[in-house]
Structure 1
């Protein structure tokens, strides 16, 4: 049997004292769509269900794999409601049945009160929660803090995996023991994939092991990074991870793939719980949502899927109009296409009614997305107007339909407005699969000279837009403009540049900046 294999005696009541029971969830995205009157409480309702499952199963602790919150700066409502739920379900008089063996000042080094919360004499915790941060709720700004720091200082969550250095990452495990079973819990909060990829290649990421009896520990690693390859360096290959790991809990990827998959090269299992709420209308999000009940005894484990019944249903279907009986040359083609799409939407709505869990907290209105390939001469119709007929039947009437065409060779016309081109690159579908800064770079490197940046750098603008989009840093772009223009003005004054030579000097500054950036990129690849 490979290490971390399944045990047949996991449910033996006599062995409960030697078995860890852990409720595993990732990507709860609390606060997602909270300003939408229909979907406002979706994420919180499902988070409560997760805690209810943990309480019902009498787990030893809850393990969260990042992106507990959807926003870097969650709203007061999200913070208030989540803290209330944690207090409601995690506080109590029941004794915690496992020991904390490692040095909490190392595991929780960024907390002014470095102690596991259930051992804090001022707290009364009977179901501890351990969590790393994700890319949505990562530390930023003054003090390099995030929402998990707030929960940690309040004693509601044990926040770990926050690396004090991004130059040399040393992951020290949380060491736990329950009876004869010893668990080494490793965690690494989200770091930009390209940076972390480079650090792994340079040998600057290390995982520390217990000094004694290393082979007797079950090694569990929770990580929040791209697992799927989105670019040459924009993901973390599984082979980068240490072979002594028994199980990897992989956060960030939203498709629910809870069942552990064996990696024969690295000799460990990988479980990808996925998100507990759909944050994009894509096929991966349409997979049934689950959390995992992980049981560990000695070096063996058992992972059981628990379906989530309060998640808003989501159905997606792809259709190609060329594969139907519709004729694009028909003078009534547009109306017939609209009628065809309406019938497809009704089919998906009926399916949602038939498959409703019956849980009173599962919303009645489903999410529905019909992806329509209108290649071959078909025309589109007004999506917003079309959705109005389903306003009382679905939760997303404004974006039921997504029209797309098979990719064709693209030519740029000189009279195309720059904003329209950039808008194509930054369309929502693209942002689901590519980084903002990569899209900005792609736009400016492929567009004609008249639309190239003259004063601002592509990298700087890309980073600023990413901060604005992902971190809600409203002043990011303004600060970039102020900073880079200030540098240029200083350089021009130092060189006493006259108006006649202004253009030449600006070109020189731009060339130097481009050359410097290329050198940095080449160094990263070494």
Structure 2
């Protein structure tokens, strides 16, 4: 009764490739397996660390399937053993809320004393199983990711995420959504089961550069339970125990976030581990798709990190080929244990490479070399297909030994198919695996990918993009300032960055940046228009930037825009309060957090996608 059990999962990307006849159900099958295992292992709750949905505005089909899955696994008459002490650290010493039903420790019937504190980490101020009109027996807590972050509908100013729909339907507890874009306060959800106490913190995805600036500029603070730190000091205290010798009074601090990890991306394009408060105990790190779920020690040495990774492959890269798992986190009076469980509803994927110049039997000057290249690649792909199917067989054996009861349905199946598997959504044609062969064709012509892939229809789930051609780039002779002489971008580079990053890079590389407008903010507006379907994002961004420039030019006292270009720069329009000439005798004082941009647009809560790896577009449907 004193052990709090939490299932950890992240980056489910529901709706990815939903129009594909083979892979369209993969993301839903993986989510259903996650919730099935949560019920099978009698977890007290599920924690999702962002990107539940793949698209910012999921289709009605995706929403229907998602709500159906959550309804079947999260609604029921079972007793909830976890009590909500409060939804805010301000109320940490308040009386324990009656959060259970039956044997749930809160009396009979559903609890009615909802916490509607404005500082509550919950979007609606209270947890779903406190609503007396609903019967929830598996609470799910989720933050948003960069794919499903809040965005605006039409000309409205309110920001809503797809998770808001699940939250208002009492299917998911959406937390970590920040209403104030300038000063962020992260309040914990205080949970209690017997003598075990957990403070759950969550921070929805933000643009890494902005969050990094706010974090270092002290515009982000963490509240703490009163027993830990009466002053709610961000950096106060030593750890979860906080010097308290009584284990029953210790708070175990969990932090769920969805950001880039420090993997050589630069100081401002990620969140460094030493930025996280050292009194945290456990970090559930979302956004990174590679499964690294085993607990690792942080660089500061005071907390542990688990990276569950994605439950469905959204790009054909090496990180996605790792075995995908979920974690069962058991917490008892300040101590914890993590058990990793392999997932079976994951399409097998292997990656291979070949360099044509290293193949002895290939001569680029030979008349029929194209035929030989095609035959060579075909043989290598068939080896990959065999390896992928063998990899799945090994997975199912290991999964059954590792405690996943679903694996036995596959291991005991016959040629007639899987009988009795207790899932509504399963992999469709799991023998059609994912393979990717990276081909360095320097000195050779590329093979037609569509014609080549047609040979493997029925054997692979991605016949149209099996091959990825690369070649060694030739070094540029010189770099000039003229836009005409800017080195063209080769296809390989396009696949590794977003369109807004390409725009900024092109302007910087050619040394011809925009003079009136800030190209970086325009690229953010472009991302909101394309990725978030905000129809007026570009118009509003241009109008706002134009208005600011007009005001600066007016204050500077110039007669023409051309005359004022030397005085007003795009970046100055947002960072400096006055572009006019300084008056004599007056000095401008620098504030402590001058690097923090107070005029960042509120719409920047729909942040740019700094994905941890290149993302392939969803495959087209095949008839």
State the TM-score, normalized to the length of structure 2.
Answer: 0.73
Q: Partner of 2:86: helix, strand, or coil?
A: coil
Partner of 1:130: 141
**Pairwise CA distance, 1:255:** 0.2
**Comparing 176-185 with 34-43, which one deviates more in the overlay?**
34-43
1:328 aligns with 2:364: yes
* Deviations 1:452-505 (CA, angstroms, capped at 9, x unpaired): 6576541233112222343233553455556667888999999999xxx9xx73
Q: Structure 1: how far apart are the matches of 2:352 and 2:117? A: 49
8 Å contact 1:110–1:164 — kept in the other structure? no
**Comparing 335-344 with 50-59, which one deviates more in the overlay?**
335-344
Q: Partner of 1:319: helix, strand, or coil?
A: strand
**Pairwise CA distance, 1:112:** 7.5
2:213 is matched with which residue: 198, 202, 215? Answer: 198
Q: Structure 1: how far apart are the matches of 2:223 and 2:73? A: 33
Change (3 A) 1:515 1:175: closer
8 Å contact 1:425–1:440 — kept in the other structure? no
**Pairwise CA distance, 1:224:** 0.5
2:36 is matched with which residue: 27, 43, 52? Answer: 52
1:348 is matched with which residue: 365, 372, 384? Answer: 384
1:152 aligns with 2:137: no
Change (3 A) 1:60 1:143: same
Aligned residues: 497
Which residues in structure 2 correspond to 1:89-108 (within 5 Å)? 89-103=73-87, 104-106=115-117
Q: Partner of 2:570: helix, strand, or coil?
A: helix
Q: Structure 1: how far apart are the matches of 2:208 and 2:555? A: 39
Unaligned runs of 5+ in 1: 1-16
Q: Structure 1: how far apart are the matches of 2:19 and 2:486? A: 28
Change (3 A) 1:406 1:101: same
1:437 aligns with 2:500: yes
1:292 is matched with which residue: 312, 327, 332? Answer: 327
Partner of 1:62: 46
8 Å contact 2:217–2:595 — kept in the other structure? no
**Comparing 294-303 with 481-490, which one deviates more in the overlay?**
481-490
Change (3 A) 1:129 1:107: farther
**Pairwise CA distance, 1:206:** 1.8
8 Å contact 1:242–1:266 — kept in the other structure? no
Q: Partner of 2:164: helix, strand, or coil?
A: helix
**Pairwise CA distance, 1:410:** 3.2
Q: Structure 2: how far apart are the matches of 1:97 and 1:404? A: 55
Change (3 A) 1:470 1:425: farther
Moved over 6 A (4+): 412-420, 485-497
2:474 is matched with which residue: 394, 408, 421? Answer: 408
Which residues in structure 2 correspond to 1:4-23 (within 5 Å)? 17-23=1-7
8 Å contact 1:173–1:187 — kept in the other structure? yes
**Pairwise CA distance, 1:125:** 0.3
Which residues in structure 2 correspond to 1:206-245 (within 5 Å)? 206-212=221-227, 215=241, 216-227=250-261, 228-245=263-280
Higher normalized contact order (CA 8 Å, seq sep 6+, divided by chain length) = 2
8 Å contact 1:108–1:159 — kept in the other structure? no
Q: Structure 1: how far apart are the matches of 2:573 and 2:438? A: 40
Partner of 2:373: 337
More helix by share: 1
Partner of 1:13: none
Partner of 2:67: 83
1:396 is matched with which residue: 462, 466, 471? Answer: 462
1:446 aligns with 2:446: no
Change (3 A) 1:483 1:167: closer
8 Å contact 2:214–2:596 — kept in the other structure? no
RMSD over aligned CA atoms reads 3.2
**Pairwise CA distance, 1:53:** 0.7
Q: Structure 2: how far apart are the matches of 1:266 and 1:167? A: 30
8 Å contact 2:8–2:47 — kept in the other structure? yes
Q: Structure 2: how far apart are the matches of 1:448 and 1:68? A: 40
**Comparing 473-482 with 279-288, which one deviates more in the overlay?**
473-482
Q: Partner of 1:226: helix, strand, or coil?
A: coil
Partner of 1:9: none
Partner of 1:115: 126
